[in-house]
Amino acid sequence: MRRPLEIKAQEAGARSVVSLTSALESISSMQIAKTKNKVLISNQFFDEVWNIYKQIRVDVMFNYGRSIDETPLDKELLILITAKGGLSGDIDNRLIRKFMEHYDENKNDVLVIGHHGTTKLKQAHVDYTYYFDLPEHDYVNVDPLMDITRKYAKSRIYYQNYISLSQQEIKDVDLSEVVSSKGRVADMATVSDDMVTEKTYIFEPNSYAVAAYLENSILRLTISQFIYDSRLAQVASRFKAMSAAKERSIANAASLHMEYNRAKRSQVDTRLKESMAGLKKLRAGGAQ
């Protein structure tokens, strides 16, 4: 059996881990509330822009705002939105696993957002072509990313989606498809008075320029929305991981405390036994 002092020192370490994980859990909890609120606010904004886009768009195929003479690369760009660093639970591992199911070195180029993703890709022996830091501020400038997506015929985005505090899922969507499907409502059968047309609206400088601008805006907003969603899912995953770590450290500290008590008791018992034995010896010696 280990010495009580040794166990006591280990228990103190375990108690520090409890404090640390509790603090990280609280921080994650605050971040969730803040991020969730921001996602809700931004969703209202996105919905209104989407609504205008639905009413104006005329082309069923979304073409990333490319002009007709631009020939895209015949490869699919895979975009991975991962966490900034560790302490985000297993969410990035799950994302990489899903990505690996689809990844083909000859057919895909990889763009990573978030440093943790690059570490995970290195572990999986996958080279990435582009890298961006995960934006921390509210305003996300996705223009450099859009310039890259425009070069490719197809782009697929892997992101983390928040369902609840205890549940986050990994999703992958074709960027062009997601924009097309959201705007598909505006087909000829559903044309109403709300439709934004040249008959009902004044466009400046002209309807084509506004439609092209909106197409770019929609792509920008779609990517931004995926980044915001991922950020929320990541903080939720971190909260889940910290809660689990806290539970584990509490159990560990309690177990060490019990082990310490047992060792202490055992030590006392041993000393008592030794004293008794000594006393017996003394008594026996006195009798002689």
Partner 1 sequence: MADDESQTAATDITETEKVATSNGKPTMAVKIYAPFQVYFEGEARSLSAVNATGPFDILPHHHNFLCMLVPGVITVQTLDGSKDIKVNRALMHVKSDKVSVFVDV
User: For residue 4, is the peptide bond before it cis, meaning its omega torsion is within 30 degrees of 0?
Assistant: no
Q: Which residues contact 182 (CB under 8 A, 6 or more apart)?
A: 50, 54
Beta bridge partners of 155: 77
Least Å from the CB of residue 45 to partner 1: 5
Q: Where are the alpha helices (H) located in 57-114, listed in sequence order?
A: 91-102
* Mask for 106-145, x = binds partner 1 (CB under 8 A): --------------------------------xx------
Cβ proximity to partner 1: between 205 and 286 the closer is 205
Cβ proximity to partner 1: between 138 and 147 the closer is 138
Query: How far lies 87's CA from each of 136, 202, 203, 237, in Å?
Result: 16, 52, 49, 9
Cβ proximity to partner 1: between 189 and 202 the closer is 202
Q: What angle do CA 259, 265, 266 make, to 5 degrees?
A: 85
Residues of this chain, 15-74, that bind partner 1 according to CB under 8 A: 38, 41-42, 45-46, 48-49, 52, 56
Least Å from the CB of residue 174 to partner 1: 22
Cβ proximity to partner 1: between 127 and 204 the closer is 204
Task: Find the binder of partner 1 among 7, 126, 214, 256 (CB under 8 A).
Answer: 214
Q: Could you tell me if 4 and 263 are in contact, meaning their C-beta atoms sit under 8 angstroms apart?
A: yes
Task: Find the binder of partner 1 among 88, 224, 230, 234 (CB under 8 A).
Answer: 224
Nearest to 157 by CA among 185, 184, 177: 177
Q: Which residues contact 31 (CB under 8 A, 6 or more apart)?
A: 235, 238, 239
Task: Find the binder of partner 1 among 201, 208, 247, 254 (CB under 8 A).
Answer: 201
Q: What is the CA radius of gyration of the chain?
A: 30
Cβ proximity to partner 1: between 56 and 113 the closer is 56
Cβ proximity to partner 1: between 11 and 215 the closer is 215
| Number of shown-chain residues binding partner 1 (CB under 8 A) | 26
Phi/psi for 105 (5° steps) reads: -50, -35
C-alpha to C-alpha distance for 152 and 109, rounded to whole angstroms: 9
Task: Find the binder of partner 1 among 78, 96, 221, 235 (CB under 8 A).
Answer: 221
Q: Which residues bind partner 1 (CB under 8 A)?
A: 38, 41-42, 45-46, 48-49, 52, 56, 138-139, 196, 200-205, 209-210, 213-214, 217, 220-221, 224
